[in-house]
Amino acid sequence: MSIKNELILSYIKELDAGTKISVRRLSEILNVSVGTVYKAIKAAEAQGLVVTKPKSGTFKIDSGVIGEAEPVSLKRAAKFLGLTMIIEPADAERMLRRVVICDGSEKQLRRALSDEPKDNVNVLCLVGDRADMQALVIELGANLMLTGGASAQPLTLIQAERSGLAVISALQDSRTIMMLLEKLHSPAIESTDDAQSWMKMPKYLYSNDVVADWHKLCEDIAIQTYPVVDENLMLCGALDVPKAFAANPSQRISGILRPENQCMHFDCETHAAFRQQHSRRYRRR
Start-end ranges of CATH 3.40.1390.20 in the chain?
A: 65-184
Looking at the predicted structure, is the pLDDT value of residue 196 above 70? no
Q: What percent of the chain has pLDDT over 70?
A: 71
pLDDT at 132: 93
Q: How do residues 45-100 score in pLDDT, each as one tens digit?
A: 766 677 776 566 788 875 544 444 456 788 888 877 777 789 999 888 888 878 88
Residues of the chain with CATH 3.10.580.10: 202-284
CATH 1.10.10.10 in the chain, residue ranges: 3-60
Check: CATH 3.10.580.10 for 202-284?
Answer: yes
**158 CB contacts (<8 Å, ≥6 apart)?**
none
Closest Cα to residue 54, out of 193, 231, 200, 189? 231
Architecture of domain 3-60: Orthogonal Bundle (1.10)
Q: Is the pLDDT of residue 221 over 60?
A: no
Q: Which of 9-18, 151-160, 176-185, 218-227 has the least mean pLDDT?
A: 218-227
**Per-residue pLDDT tens over the stretch 112-137:** 787 777 888 888 999 988 999 999 99
Q: Answer whether residue 260 shows pLDDT above 70.
A: no
Is 90 exceeded by the pLDDT of residue 165?
yes
Residue 219 has pLDDT above 60, yes or no: no
Q: Which residue has the higher pLDDT, 89 or 261?
A: 89
Provide the mean pLDDT of the chain: 74
- Please state which CATH number belongs to domain 65-184: 3.40.1390.20
Which stretch of 26-35, 54-63, 213-222 has the lowest confidence by average pLDDT? 213-222
